[in-house]
A and B are shown apart, each in its own frame.
Chain A
Amino acid sequence: MKYVCNLCGWEYDEAVGDPENGIAAGTKFEDLPEDFVCPLCGAGKDEFSDAE
């Protein structure tokens, strides 16, 4: 499943994760920590939507 940052367009792909920031590949969006932010623009989890 893919999720997109509503503010800047960065995509979170569950299959890829965000390894540079310690998020392993395969991590589901719901399992991301509450303080997870978009690595590009700092937007919080609440600014993400379903990309599909």
Chain B
Amino acid sequence: MNITTDIKYVGVNDHEIDLFEGQYDVPNGMAYNSYVIADYKIAVMDTVDARFGHEWLDNVATATGGKAPDYLVVQHMEPDHSANIDVFMKAYPNATIVSSQKAFAMMKNFFGKEYEDRRIVVAEGDTLPLGKHVLHFVAAPMVHWPEVIVTYDAYDKVLFSADGFGKFGALDVEEDWACEARRYYFGIVGKYGAQVQALLKKAAALDIEKICPLHGPILTQNLGYYLGLYDTWSSYGVETDGIFVAYTSVYGHTKAAVELLVQKLKEKGCPKVSVCDLAREDMAEAVEDAFRYGKLVLATTTYNADIFPFMRTFIEHLVERGYKNRTIALVENGSWAPLAAKVMKGMFEGCKNLTFLEPVIRLTSAMNDLTKDAIEKVSDELCKDYLARQDSTANKNDLKALFNIGYGLYVVTSNDGKKDNGLIVNTVTQVTNTPNRVAVTINKQNYSHHVIKQSGKMNINCLSVDAPFKVFEDFGFRSGRTVDKFEGWEKFRSDNGLVFLPKYINSFMSLTVENYVDLGTHGMFICSVGEARVISDLETMTYTYYQKNVKPKPQTEGKKGYVCKVCGYVYEGDTLPDDIVCPLCKHGAADFEPIK
């Protein structure tokens, strides 16, 4: 088979192998690819598995028209590619082996020799001229072994990618690429996502028209598709929107719960639900699906105070390969002391960015009403986004959407003629830039609103992420009519005479009111910008950041009632009055939530 005029395929198909790499079921066999580049000098890329040495040497001889190759380039030392190195060197005693330093050390270990008198040691950036074709070597450490190099032929624009872009399946069988390439990738290369990313970055700088891997078909068209999948896989991204359910079930009860959950997921709009019986189906396919989807359900039995062995093996495969960035729901069964959920969760300790859903779905030998209740809750949670997107199931009146508008936090300073005043608002936006105008909206109940309406000027101080809760206590929860909010604060003044804060801000601007819009409960001041200073490079504190990192946890322990989400004020009582105004921060009922 000719790949280009000078590049010929000399690999072999293997339909005898029972388990590839000693573990993978390969119902469509395996291909060991090798290539001849016949230029002024002749190079052979890699060898094949030990059992096909003769067939391969015949292929090489045919491809070179009987001429002796000059070079054997060894990109990878795993025996399915390196087994025939010595056989080749005996057949062609004048050939030179080209490989990496680490590869030669491995040859010493595998074969007892390292060909010191017939070799060229290459590293990243080295080249091997063959004539028109010049081979450029690129190091690919830990894709998936440390000695690996990949090779770029600048003349035909071919990347010899070693095991990268490989797949299970011999070349004489037609099958979809992605499925077996994914199973291959996550099984064999999956742990080395970071290293594959590094290699993809180097490959992006090359002009590649064809990819010649050591397994699977040569890729000649639509390379963006293959590169895109490799990018998603190696960055642990989610490839397909959907949910993967992996289970073990000894007598069928756990399986019944899984079936009910799967039915609910489909009813609630999940576009794709993949299900796997870990004991009876291909483990490598289960691993592949766990990485393909973004949501995982694990269902198993407590067994020997641990979990059912196939589930243990499955989770070990995931953790070993760096499982991360996904959502996991747990289903456990236990006839006397259920432990499975705790054990499963514990196995993922150390994994980054995994979200475990509550509640755990529990069976006590068989499903009961509590199990079904939990299945309903978990399927709602897993399908939250599908439900929200579907017209028939979406909550179209979910005003919590308003809380997703983002804000910074600002101390607005003013002066009533006698003393300085300040308050905290999030409602500051630039509205135009020719000229620059900023809109500041203040609750009419705040003294500052009255002051600014009369004086027509204010400073806005942008709080940075280092501002402590004290800033909010001093400027946010008290009235400036009665209290000196600046007590204990050093005051700096801008040209307009108003205060700017000595710290905890990254910038401030002096604003002059041009227009006022009466909004009923609030007044919006539309202002021009005068003096403007940048004080530091720290990020502006967002409202979200404040909620997560600055606001102390409210003292709700043992209390019955509601808590203000803005400032932590606790309202004790059975029902929250609709017209309640938080005495500390003036926010309304919408910002209160029940104490759990």
* Residues from chain B with Cβ under 8 Å of A44 in the complex: 194
Pick the interface stretch among A13-21, A22-30, A35-43: A35-43
Q: Complex Cα distance A41/B102, Å?
A: 13
* Residues from chain A with Cβ under 8 Å of B195 in the complex: 7, 41-43
User: Is B27's beta carbon under 8 Å from chain A?
Assistant: no
* Residues from chain B with Cβ under 8 Å of A42 in the complex: 141-142, 194-195, 198
Nearest chain B CB to A22 CB, angstrom units:
19
Bitwise interface map of B from 380 to 424 toward A, beta carbon under 8 Å scored 1, else 0? 000000000000000000000000000000000000000000000
Nearest chain B CB to A8 CB, angstrom units:
4
Which of the four size classes fits the interface of chain B?
under 10
Can you offer 8 A-B residue contacts whose CB atoms are under 8 A? A7-B146, A7-B195, A8-B146, A41-B141, A41-B142, A42-B141, A43-B142, A43-B194
Q: Show the binding face of A for B, using Cβ within 8 Å.
A: 7-9, 40-44
Bitwise interface map of B from 178 to 211 toward A, beta carbon under 8 Å scored 1, else 0? 0000000000000110110010000000000000
Q: Complex Cα distance A9/B142, Å?
A: 10
Find the A residue at minimum CB distance from B199.
Answer: A42
* Residues from chain A with Cβ under 8 Å of B192 in the complex: 7
Nearest chain A CB to B573 CB, angstrom units:
48
* Residues from chain A with Cβ under 8 Å of B198 in the complex: 42
Find the B residue at minimum CB distance from A9.
Answer: B146
Bitwise interface map of B from 450 to 468 toward A, beta carbon under 8 Å scored 1, else 0? 0000000000000000000
Nearest chain A CB to B368 CB, angstrom units:
43
* Residues from chain B with Cβ under 8 Å of A7 in the complex: 142, 146, 191-192, 195
Nearest chain B CB to A41 CB, angstrom units:
4
Q: Complex Cα distance A43/B141, Å?
A: 10
Q: Complex Cα distance A7/B192, Å?
A: 9
Q: Complex Cα distance A42/B196, Å?
A: 10
Contacts A41-B141, A42-B194 known; 12 new A-B pairs at CB < 8 A: A7-B146, A7-B191, A7-B195, A8-B142, A9-B146, A41-B146, A41-B195, A42-B141, A42-B142, A42-B195, A42-B198, A43-B194
| Interface pair B146/A40, CB less than 8 Å apart | yes
* Residues from chain A with Cβ under 8 Å of B142 in the complex: 7-8, 41-43
* Residues from chain B with Cβ under 8 Å of A9 in the complex: 146
Nearest chain A CB to B385 CB, angstrom units:
32
Find the A residue at minimum CB distance from B192.
Answer: A7
Q: Complex Cα distance A8/B141, Å?
A: 8
Nearest chain A CB to B146 CB, angstrom units:
4
Nearest chain B CB to A46 CB, angstrom units:
9
